[in-house]
Structure 1
């Protein structure tokens, strides 16, 4: 069984769909519990379910994992996260920093911590953390970027500590992906297309494919790495 956080929309929903199509039973976990249930009902295959999950609330994380842990958790995919509008570095107060770190880093920490006792019961298990290319280059949005850089460090450290228990930990660092966050912005995601050597921005399915690989036995000897899935963006930055 695979639990995907942030799975009601965008990248998370694409990951849930790809993993289900490859035969996994998927737990669609999201703050939007109603939409999570709709996604679970539309997934191919059987045995899927939805849980309401707010990664910024410890009690919500604990309740979600207690609900599904007895069914045998094999893979955790941490997708839930996001940025917020704010001013320059000098004008951005502690509240925004705390918000971004809670959502993008500590939320991942909480989910990993809750999942590990269940993953340790499996002969092979995996965690895949979805970060951002913001962790690897200078793109501004300092609170979000710093939190995502923390996810990279967390990924490598957990890979070391959990490896003896046969739990692999890897990450994916997406570039610009066409999701709903771009809908209200002038030009949408496509205005950034010239920055990408492959000539387009990414789609949620691009990230889902990488996540599915890292979660699968095809990546059985890969741990501790964060894979940029960025259309070549980092080659020029």
Structure 2
């Protein structure tokens, strides 16, 4: 399939994991891709692996100047911008919620929620011009109680942000959707193989997800195949929200706190 022929996509946090898989998938389907991250060496490897239709740009999504510069670089290099994939994020707060500081909470929101908002704001003129779309990578943590409360709140905020932008810009032909992954086998888990294996057994489909599982969902929502879908959250989570234990997996299986 060449669903993105002539299109340009910008993907944040694209140096590894989900972001790099999304960049490869969209490029394979014909897109020119702007890959952004703070890890410049890894970003260069991703760009080299994809080829000439790739532009690597160092971006800190907590810095609006960085985000504006990335959008400008996309337009300067490729002439337009059609798709934004908000993938930057991560769990900053490692303490239990009762002990988390306001500064930690603010940092989590700034990276995950406000960062996505900055990218949308910067790209909007191009998205309106080309009737483009945004796909934001949230999490099942934003839909159910799996722990990591501050992270979950930021991810839930991404869903609310998406719904409101979808309602506001639908008449202009700009779409906004969310993919909500379950546990995905990314380099963040490299030091915890036993935990990842244990989590996989909790999923009805018997495994954790691969970055390519999320890339496939993003490619669908960003393509014209989803031209009548906006304001939607697509869980890609191996059945963890609906299978045995379902939403109760948070306290019982994933992040139980001992008192």
Q: TM-score, normalised by structure 1?
A: 0.96
Tell me if the contact between 1:170 and 1:225 (Cα under 8 Å) persists in the aligned partners: yes
- Alpha-carbon distance between aligned partners in 2 of 1:154 and 1:4, rounded to the nearest angstrom: 18
Deviation at 1:63, TM superposition (A): 1.6
Partner in structure 2 of residue 92 of structure 1: 100
Q: Of residues 51, 56, 60 in structure 2, which corresponds to 1:54?
A: 60
Equivalent residue, structure 2, for 1:228: 235
In structure 1, runs of 5+ residues without a counterpart are: none
Correspondence for 1:40 among 40, 47, 63:
47
Cα distance in 2 between the residues matched to 1:219 and 1:86: 37
The 5 A counterparts of 1:126-137 are 126-137=133-144
Match 2:84 to one of 59, 76, 89: 76
Residues in 1 aligned to 2:68 and 2:60: alpha-carbon distance in whole angstroms: 10
Cα distance between partner residues in 2 of 1:209 and 1:68: 23
Q: In structure 1, the residue corresponding to 2:111 is in which secondary structure?
A: helix
CA contact (8 A) 1:28 1:37 kept: no
* Contact 1:37–1:51 (8 Å) recurs in 2: no
Q: Distance in 2 between matches of 1:23 and 1:67?
A: 19
2:19 counterpart of 1:24: no
After TM superposition, the structure 1 stretch with the greater mean CA deviation from structure 2, 186-195 or 157-166, is 186-195
Quick one: distance in 2 between partners of 1:47 and 1:138? 40
CA contact (8 A) 1:7 1:29 kept: yes
- Pairwise CA distance, 1:186: 5.5
* Deviation, structure 1 residue 33: 2.2
1:21, 1:101 → 2: CA distance?
Answer: 33
Q: Is the 8 A contact 1:78 1:111 kept in 2?
A: yes
Per-residue CA shift, 1:39-69, capped at 9, x if unaligned?
Answer: 112115x422111110011221122112223
CA shift, 1:34, in A, is 2.6
Can you list the C-alpha shifts for 1:157-204, whole angstroms capped at 9, x where unaligned? Answer: 011111111111000000000011111225142220121000100000
- Superposition RMSD on alpha carbons, in Å? 1.2
Query: 1:21-40, CA deviations, whole angstroms, 9 ceiling, x for partnerless residues?
Result: 11111111111123212211
| Rg comparison, structure with higher value | 2
Partner of 1:233, secondary structure, is: coil
Distance 2:28 2:218 in 1: 13
1:106 aligns with 2:82: no
3-state SS, counterpart of residue 166 of structure 2: helix
Partner residue in 2 for 1:12: 19
Q: Deviations over 1:1-28 (max 9, x none)?
A: 0000011110000000110111111111
- In structure 2, runs of 5+ residues without a counterpart are 1-7, 248-259
Task: Give 1:95 deviation, angstroms.
Answer: 1.5
Instruction: Give aligned pairs, total.
Output: 235
Superposition TM-score, scaled by structure 2 size: 0.88
Post-superposition Cα deviations, 1:126-162, rounded to whole Å, max 9, x if no partner, equal: 1000000000111111110000000000011011111
Runs of 4 or more consecutive aligned structure 1 residues displaced over 4 Å after TM superposition? none
Matched, 1:66 2:72: yes
